Amino acid sequence: MSAASGGEGRPLWAPWRIEYIERSRGPLVCIFCEPDPAVADRARLILFRGRHAFVLLNRYPYAAAHLMVAPYAHTGKLHALAPDARAEVMALVAESSRILEATYACEGLNVGANLGKAAGAGFAEHLHFHIVPRWSGDVNFMTSIGEIRVIPTHIERTYDELLPAFRELGTR
Greater model confidence, 1 or 7: 7
> What confidence category does residue 61 fall into, taking pLDDT thresholds of 50, 70 and 90?
confident
Note the pLDDT of residue 12.
57
Note the pLDDT of residue 3.
40
Note the pLDDT of residue 26.
63
Note the pLDDT of residue 121.
84
Domains and CATH numbers, the chain: 3-170 (3.30.428.10)
Instruction: Tell whether the model's pLDDT for residue 1 goes beyond 50.
Output: no
CA distance to 84, 87, 133, 171, per residue, from 98 (Å): 21, 17, 11, 16
Gyration radius (Cα) of the chain, Å: 17
Task: Give CA 31 to chain center in angstroms.
Answer: 11
- Measured CA to CA, the distance from residue 156 to residue 42 in angstroms comes to 9
- Measured CA to CA, the distance from residue 8 to residue 37 in angstroms comes to 47
How many other CB atoms are found less than 10 A from the CB of residue 49?
A: 14
- Measured CA to CA, the distance from residue 65 to residue 84 in angstroms comes to 27
| Mean pLDDT of the residues in the chain | 84
Who contacts 64 (Cβ-Cβ below 8 Å, separation ≥6)?
104, 133, 151, 152, 153, 158
Condensed to tens digits (0 to 9), the pLDDT of residues 110-157 reads 999 999 888 888 888 999 999 999 988 776 555 544 556 667 778 899
Reduced 3-state DSSP string for 1-66: CCHHHCCCCCCCCCCCHHHHHHHCCCCCCCCCCCCCCCCCHHHHCEEEECCCEEEEECCCCCCCCC
Condensed to tens digits (0 to 9), the pLDDT of residues 89-109 reads 999 999 999 999 999 999 999
Per the annotation, the verdict on 154 as an active-site residue is: no
Note the pLDDT of residue 23.
61
> What confidence category does residue 4 fall into, taking pLDDT thresholds of 50, 70 and 90?
very low
Residue of 52, 66, 126, 128 marked active site = 128
CA dihedral 104→110→112→118, nearest 10 degrees, is -130
